[in-house]
Amino acid sequence: MFEINGFDTAGVVSLKRLSLAAALKKAKELTEDGCWDVRVVDPAGRIYTSFEEQAA
């Protein structure tokens, strides 16, 4: 399970997705919607933030 964590004006955003591709897609959407400090954490604890560059 891949966790997506970040912040929006209401507070903490915490979601889960079954695949890395789905998690990165959701993280990109959250970033585009104005969330900040968005990151994806995989089951091994690796942190992904590169989706931010893909959003451009």
* pLDDT confidence of residue 55: 40
User: Mean pLDDT for each consecutive 10-residue tract of the chain (56 residues)?
Assistant: 96 97 96 96 93 50
Q: In the numeric block, which tokens belong to residue 52? A: 């931010």
**Residue 10: domain span:** 2-54
Instruction: Show the 3-state SS of 4-25.
Output: EEEEECCEEEEEEECCHHHHHH
Distance CA 21, CA 2 (A): 10
* pLDDT confidence of residue 52: 56
* pLDDT confidence of residue 50: 78
